[in-house]
Amino acid sequence: MDSSCTIIVPDADVLTKLCGTNDSNLKLIEESLGATIYARGNELCVEEEDPDIQRRFKFIVDRIIDEIEDGAVDSEDAVASILNTNSRADQNSINIVVPGGLRRVYPKTQNQADYIALMRKHDMVFCVGPAGSGKTFLAIAEALRLVLSKQARGIVLTRPVVEAGENLGYLPGDLEQKTAPYLRPLYDAMEMLLPRDTVTRLVESRIIETAPLAYMRGRTFCDKILILDEAQNTSQEQMKMFLTRMGSGSKVFITGDLTQVDLPNKVQSGLTQALAILSRVPEIGMMRMNGSDVCRNSLVKKIVKAYEYGTDKN
């Protein structure tokens, strides 16, 4: 084993962001590794014989470079979030590779790593957590991986259209035009993972299907990946209806944020009920994210934590 490990970073801007102001990011990485990093020109070197430290050094730096190139690293907090993904996730190299995709998707926190593992273990997984915790993005990434590697025949994306009361008839246009604004966040996630023309081709060929929840009644989906987003805004009847659409060979991922329920006051959330009733079913995976899993702008994480603290006090 070599006595050192060197990584070449050819892009000067990427290297500058990786090192951070006054090498602040390098210092965080050094603390995580317990080893000294030397910057020489466009090279980063850790002089350490321990193969585990060398492996983690390469893993961490490669991940940070990927995130910088995706525009996801904007502060020391973002680097710290990557480093907080503990060694178990690092050792297993848990990630999502979408065939033909724009990027490799890494978990940024241990909960995200556990969430990916649950989606691979169970045919049905619930994930609840605050905005920006990656619950929908990771579900879509895993669904695309399964479909494009031919482990499933298609993806069905749905959301309850609460703002329109699920009554879309009064809106202009066909069904796709009526629902497009409500499903746009799901398309945004797909376009972060695949070239836009690939997403368009998959939608036009019906490999990716989008529909409001109310239009799924009476259907059975086999060999598909079903994703229900914003599940906190389903009624109890809608949630039961959705869960029973699952046919043979399918997987179902349900995501939601119980702090953002938009249902009328007298309507109980189907997500709340499902989490309580189905928690005793061992074949169903359940993941709860929190403020520490938020991976948007670092200010968003502080906002989420402030609201969590304020809600607990009240």
Q: Where is pLDDT greater, at 176 or 226?
A: 226
Query: Each residue of 18-64: pLDDT tens digit?
Result: 888 888 889 988 988 888 999 888 899 998 888 888 888 888 888 88
Q: What SS3 state is found at 115?
A: helix
List the Cα angle 221/223/229 in 5-degree steps: 60
**CB-CB contact of 158 with 213 (8 Å):** yes
What is the separation of C-alpha 50 from the centre of its chain, rounded to a whole number of angstroms? 33
For residue 125, give the 3-state DSSP assignment.
strand
Q: Where are the alpha helices (DSSP H) in 122-174?
A: 135-148
Structure token digits, residue 278: 């189905």
Strand partners for 124: 252, 284
Domain holding 34: CATH number?
A: 3.30.1370.10
* 54 and 140 housed in the same domain: no
**Structural domain span for residue 216:** 99-313
- Shared domain for 23 and 126, answered yes or no, is no
Does residue 93 belong to any structural domain of this protein? no
* Segment among 8-17, 140-149, 162-171, 219-228 with least mean pLDDT: 162-171
Say yes or no: 67 and 131 in one domain.
Answer: no
What are the beta bridge partners of residue 253?
125, 227
How many structural domains comprise the chain?
Answer: 2
Whether 9 contacts 65, CB under 8 Å: yes
Same domain, residue pair 17 and 136? no
Does the residue 182 lie in any domain? yes
For 296-314, letters b (16+ CB in 10 Å) and e give beeebbebbeeeeeeeeee
Give this prediction's pTM: 0.75
Place of tokens 């049905």: 124
CATH of residue 283's domain is: 3.40.50.300
- What's the pLDDT at 91? 43
- The arithmetic mean of pLDDT across residues 276-302, rounded, is 85
Same domain? For 59 and 108 the reply is no
* Domain endpoint, select from 83, 107, 139: 83
User: Are 213 and 162 within one domain?
Assistant: yes
Give the end of a domain, one of 83, 112, 138: 83
The one-letter amino acid code at 172 reads: P
Residue 309, pLDDT > 50, answer yes
Mean pLDDT of 105-118: 89
Largest pairwise CA distance in the chain:
70
Same structural domain, 64 and 103: no
Residues 235 and 266: beta-carbon distance below 8 Å = no
